[in-house]
Chain A
Amino acid sequence: MKCTFTLNGKETTVEAGETTSLVRVLRDACGLVETREGCGEGQCGACLVFVDGNLVNSCLIPLFRVQGAEVDTIEGLRDRRLFTELQAAFDAKRVFECGFCSGGVLMAAYSLLLHARAPSDEAIRDALSGNRCKCGTYPAIFEAVQSVVATRRRRARRRG
């Protein structure tokens, strides 16, 4: 099928099987390779993207479901301040080892901080519980997100 949707702010048309998973379309047809395919079962979170503002596992979304939708991938967030803050915090904490899960983790953290100004530790853990890191870097991921939240709190206090 031919499917037209808005990808990172630009109208995009692709041709693929209607049940082809969105992650394969993004990677193979659109060349956006930082959305990764891990388990293919919606359990590892490596393929997280926004569809109409909702964070979803793109391995579970068939192409026909995004007809007319707005799809945002990690490549589309590059210039956003919150994303660069998160990326800087993850780098400062030397979080990732192999980096395979990195895109999905950053997307989940971005989604959390987009909707919650200063989430609790529990909320951070909950928000990132759908992401699997085979290298086991969970404590460092947690610390990196916490550090962004702490920076936000400090900034808010300064503003009074």
Chain B
Amino acid sequence: MSSRNRALAIAIQPVRDVFTAPNTTTDLLIGMSNARIARDPVTLADDTYTGAVFQNADQVIGTQDSITFTAKLKPPSSLPALNAFVLGRLLQAAKFAELRLAAAIGPEALGAWVDSKTPTLGASAAGTASLYKGYPLIIGAAAYKTALTAIRSYDAAKHAGLLEDWGSTPATNYTIPSFIGYTRDITSADPPLLSFKFWRAGRRYEMMNGAVTGLRYRRPTSTPTRPGYPEMEFTVSGIVTNVVTDPAPTIPPLGAMPVTKDGKEILDYKKIGVDTASIDFGLQTERPPNMNQADGADAPQLTGGTANGTIQQQAYLPSYLDIDALAAAGTYVPYFQQWGLSAGNAIQVLIPDARAGYPNDNANGNVDMDDVGLYIDVIDRNLVINFPF
């Protein structure tokens, strides 16, 4: 059977050690590729004497199960209910909070601008500091890709700092659109566990107690010579409880998908040309020992993580963007990616306060590029993915 005969369905598992069967249609992950399941045997060396010069082979006492796969970063087809977006379930298990707004705020008139980076929201907005941090925002009536931006900071005086310099201070309307968003959750609450059905060439593996143990975001800029998809690379670990004969279900096609061009990419309020941007979430998990469990350990627990980004950007003159000075000063600067041309088919990735590393000469091609590290601290809503509608 073809190695392309693969599919993955995912459900949030409310109870530890109890498999929650994902729906074979509604819980399918759309846009998955490069999927592999690993059942690594756990072995113990048998050091007992045999009366011969040889030793017995290792004993096989269990297995460590994991699935690696790549998911295309594609918005849901419409604003999903809480916990319903399958890719979002994976992000939640990777310790993201899911934020859902159905009732847009506005359109209504902006107040006065503090400066060209900071408009003041109007009467419908609440004066609660940080409330709208990380939210998408539409300013004015220009083309969607231009009018759409995002909020870096928000204070009780309704000043909404942007992740970009608007370049002017227009008296116009604003809207906070409906959206589903994901922000790294910095509280100590446990993330959800997941249950999986993974189909491979006529077989179906059922896995429970699934935790995301590896997550990397990679977004190439789609150029005429090197088009590319934005993707998230996942590794999930859990316990395979069942393997049965079952052909893979049909997975809907990707359909219209926002392409990583004709968007915005901005670091420290300067537009930058980037080849590839990536974020490694550096997740650390561990399974606590527990002999009451069938395989001697509890479900994986998230025990740590450090998020770091890397951007391969054009090497700019210091007069435009002085990365060396930013690295030396260690100041927080906003980093903003946005692509897609219409509501429901756009994506934003925000790091409101990143610290830049020193640029590393990337002399691999004909264009002079720098590799720039982004250091992402543990601040509320400091790592955000938005799907505005």
Bound together: no
Where the two chains meet, the residues of B that have a C-beta atom closer than 8 Å to any C-beta of A are none
